[in-house]
């Protein structure tokens, strides 16, 4: 089985930091647990990079190179290239995601 490296792009790291900062205003323990959950799920992409679904909003435009993991209520957007997985965004699915996805990926 091939192993992939998993690298976080700066916008995705900023997304995750903003999520954790927002949640920690109410509950630091919950914020830490969510951070750990998202990071650990993304680490598993090193063995199974194609397990996420193709991002439906981008698929509608014929863009098939971006996949996502659903870690409810967040969507972790990533793509693979060679032996790397690049985590590109962490988006709250309770918000309108179309504008964010189009702005970042089109």
pLDDT of residue 1: 66
What pTM value is reported for the model? 0.89
Enclosing domain of residue 94: 5-105
> What's the rounded Cα separation, in Å, for the pair 87 and 8?
5
pLDDT tier at 9 (50, 70, 90 boundaries)?
A: very high
Q: Is residue 26 pLDDT above 80, yes or no?
A: yes
Give pLDDT, residue 91: 93
Tell me: pLDDT of 60 over 70: yes
Q: Look up residue 50 and give its DSSP letter.
A: T
* Helices and strands (H, E) in the chain, number of each type: 4, 5
Residue 8 belongs to what H/E stretch?
Answer: strand 5-8
Number of domains in the chain: 1
pLDDT averaged over every residue in the chain: 92
The phi, psi pair for 86, rounded to 5°, reads -110, 115
Query: Whole-angstrom distance between the N-terminal and C-terminal Cα of the chain?
Result: 32
Q: What is the pLDDT confidence band of residue 106, given thresholds at 50, 70 and 90? A: low
Distance CA 76, CA 41 (A): 10
Is residue 73 over pLDDT 90? yes
Residue 101 exposed, middle or buried by CB count within 10 Å (0-12, 13-18, 19+): buried
CATH code, domain with 16: 3.30.2310.20
């Amino acid at each position: 089985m091939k192993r992939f490296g998993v690298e976080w792009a700066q916008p995705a790291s900023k997304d995750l930091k903003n999520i954790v900062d927002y949640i920690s205003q109410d509950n630091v323990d919950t914020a830490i647990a969510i951070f750990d959950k998202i990071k650990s799920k993304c680490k598993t992409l090193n063995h199974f990079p194609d397990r996420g679904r193709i991002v439906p909003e981008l698929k509608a435009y014929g863009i098939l190179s971006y996949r996502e993991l659903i870690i409810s209520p967040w969507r972790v957007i990533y793509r693979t290239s060679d032996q790397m997985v690049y985590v590109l965004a962490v988006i709250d699915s309770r918000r309108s995601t179309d504008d964010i996805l189009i702005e970042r990926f089109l």
